[in-house]
Structure 1
Amino acid sequence: MNQFMKNTLQGPRSAGLCAALLAVVVCLFLLTPAQAASPLSATYAGVWEDSGYTSDYATRNIDLSISQVKGQTAYVEASSTYFHALMSTKENFDATIGRLRSSLVEGTVTFNASGVATLKYKDEYNNGVLKIVLNKGRISLSWTGEEIGEYSFLPGSYTLYKKVNLSEAERAKLGLFLSNFTELGLYKLDSAALKPADLIRFGIWHNYINNYKSAVSDTKGGKLFISRETVSASIRKYFNLPFTKHATVGEYQYNGKGYVFTGADGEAPVYVKVHSVYQTAANQYKVQGSMYNPDSSDEAGYGWVIATVNKITENGKSRYVLGKIDAR
């Protein structure tokens, strides 16, 4: 047989036969089922989180830590934390007085070709299944199990985002950005739902507080004036919205060039200190922080902040613009 193959491949039709044999080999290779690789990679290592308010004075956090990534396996630690303020009051919420419930589920998991892993877990507080699904830059996590006590894992499905390790300077920059809203008492804001009147008020009062000397001038009638260009510039800077719908809004009289209004000093401003940042999409982030009075050494007792922001770059310079803010 070997001699036959040798003589045949050395014959005048050897090139054609070689090509035919190669084609057969390729076809056999393609028809052989391959082991699909899991989408798990070292990029998933780190801390992932989902957090939010469950009521006015109740919060919940779901954390997932992925480590020891090797091939399709990894070590995971999932924790759930729930807090509800005593008597549902802001005072108790700010002072963290109330019911605190927390739980931990951990172990080694193996992800399949679809990026799905399950972990059956049982201890004195838990008896259920943790399911983790890798999904293009985010993780879906669910827990189905028996609620044995107050230290059982919170049942439900959650979408987790990866924690971003910002420098101290960048966290301060982001906190300063969010402080532009809390200092005006804008604790709950959705950029997509803002009306022109809301934007005009923001543009006027932001400059009144932060740029008084350069943006605000006196009028003959004892009132104050700010140009429409200044108002529009602030709206664009903080919301990335081009603004042209200038008009009189309540006590803010529009005269064609800008706004005439009466200034007033309000309550002490409240600023934001950023604690954690999570990336939800390209240049989109979820921010967690706390509020504080800059004139007080005590940073406790002023509430918490959850916000979404976008980071944009124009002319080589980057800045944050607001998506939503919810401060309580």
Structure 2
Amino acid sequence: MTPDTAIPEIPRKVEEIRSLINQYLVGKDELTKLITIALLSDGHILIQGVPGTAKTTIVKAFAKILGYTFSRVQCAVDTQPADILGLRIYDQSKGEFVLRKGPIFSNILLIDELNRLNPRTQSAFVEVMSERQVTIEGETHPLPSPFFVMATQNPYEFEGTFPLIEAQKDRFMYSFISEYLNSEDELEVLRRLDSGKLNWDTYATSLDQHKGGVDLIFLRNCVESIHIEERVAMYIRDLVVATRQNGDISLGASTRASIAFYKGSKAVAALNGRTFVTPDDVREIAFHVLHHRLILRREAEIAGITLEAVINEIIRSVEVP
């Protein structure tokens, strides 16, 4: 199957994944879609929001469906780089030092409460996440391919936290604001709990029959072949440049944002079964690309202006080709 013939099939495959996720989880369509976009565009996601919103479960389910390895790290102030990356230990039976790989050597990795890591561990993790390789005692080890990271941070706890600096947040291609379920979805969770549909072991076993049914690497190659016209590329440029010229923003989007727009809009086009990108595809991911990269001026914050309002203003102000 060639990319041209495979791309129209991508919406069907994505709908199959969404349907499988929804057998267990409730109200997660938007996050499911963004994770799919991130996987197709080889990017990572930073989630900010309240705890207890099924973040671990959704990435575990994706790993099961795709047939990839999964690891989770619960961050703490005393977590050291070696706890995530790994270290060399002496094996008495072999009489030599051997590498004990850390959880980062997984296809899909969840880093829970990233802002609880101390700055030294944060820097080591984010650097490795970007370079896709680990150097331990002078020896370099490549990470598995594909490699996808979803990191979370809780904005409502301040003791024992170390906020990511802007250069580190910029390494994440997308961000997502995780919120509580609405009242109807909350009730649906209770119904499923009462009917026994929230048994993870049973659900995970049912996913085994779908394991490996989606060739992610092939789909990524298909997405890369999607065409972006020069006028759409210029539209991406104009959106990013507008963040640097907006009077309410003290730090605009970097060139990494342009790359995220470029790759992500191709993935959105693929989800719609198209072989070309439209401005609507670009706008669809604008919030996820920009929100974690922009910093408001102090005067704007005092005036009650929000990042959401500024991003919407930028989208409205930039001429659509």
How high is the TM-score relative to the length of structure 2?
0.22
Larger radius of gyration: 1
How high is the TM-score relative to the length of structure 1?
0.22
